[in-house]
Amino acid sequence: MKNSSLSIFILFLLGVSGYANAQELNCQVAVEAIQIESTERRVFDEMEVEFAKFLNDRKWADERFENNERINCGINITLESQPSLGNFQATVQVVSARPVFNSTYDAVMINYADRDFDFEYTESQPLDFQPTTFMSNITSILGFYAYMIIANDYDSFEKLGGQRYYEAAWQVVSNAQQSGYSGWDQFNSVRNRYWWAENSIDQVMEPMREAMYEYHIKGLDMMADNPEEGRTNILAALKKVQEVNRSKPRAIMVISFLDAKMDELVGIFSEGNMAERREVYNILKALEPAKTEQFGKILEN
């Protein structure tokens, strides 16, 4: 399998450092504030430290994680404006990765851009979070992504294994419905936290989640020992994704999958049987016509 430029970006973003008290997540947080005019720059450094502690030191899952089992992830926050003191308008890139069996390759699981990342934060502010209550927008957003990262990871190791964490993410969405912050409702966008969580618990999307298990366990995790069988199983998983897309066209879960896996899929299917490669190309360009040129690399060799 060929390493992609996205994989290099992921390794840069995620880093290898962890926290001594880490639970399930090994999350590196970066806050970019070059567009904010402020003499009090230390609050931005504090955000990085406190947001990372919030994600890494809190126990999100029921199971006990060993140090080497923590999920590598990254949250890159770009502060775009500060309408008032302590109030920030931002965007964020959320990334997570999963190790592939018998290799040094980390597969990107989530590569998601959130443009509704508005929040309030002041220096030394406590970050309070309750799974069943809206406490603040920043902790709700961070908690939402913690659950989604864990759910995606679990789904890749066990069929529908992330169910309870998707349900926890949906509870966070439900808690925030009346908050007035953007990104939590179904009306203003078809690509936001509401719809990602809704897709995750929608029974129509279950074959998509099953495909993620087959893609990783029967596909990627087999590539080192049997690349031909691994590619065949990944193609079978893509056919499930295609069927889901026919039932629910342009669902955010499908689009997010392609955002995370595009470079990986090009790398996997730039080798092997040409008939299989052509079939994969046709599936992918139908799923995401805007990326036809990138998927065309599958047929170049």
- What confidence tens digit (pLDDT) does each residue in 49-86 have? 999 999 999 999 988 888 888 999 999 999 999 999 99
Task: Give the DSSP per-residue string, 193-211.
Answer: HHHHHHHHH-GGGHHHHHH
Tell the residue number behind the tokens 């419905």, with chain if given: 177
Higher pLDDT among residues 9 and 164, named by residue: 164
Phi/psi class of residue 86: alpha, beta or left (left: φ > 0; alpha: ψ in -120 to 50)? left
Pairing of β 106-120 and β 87-99: antiparallel
User: 127-172, pLDDT tens digit by residue?
Assistant: 999 999 999 999 999 999 999 999 999 999 999 999 999 999 999 9
Containing 243, the helix (H) or strand (E) segment is helix 227-247
User: 177-203, pLDDT tens digit by residue?
Assistant: 999 999 999 988 889 999 999 999 999
Q: How far apart are CA 143 and CA 172, in angstroms?
A: 8
Q: How far apart are CA 138 and CA 142, in angstroms?
A: 6
Please state, rounded to an integer, the average pLDDT across all residues of the chain. 92
Neighbours of 174 (CB within 10 A): 14
pTM: predicted TM-score of the whole model, two decimal places: 0.92
List of E strands, the chain: 25-32, 71-84, 87-99, 106-120
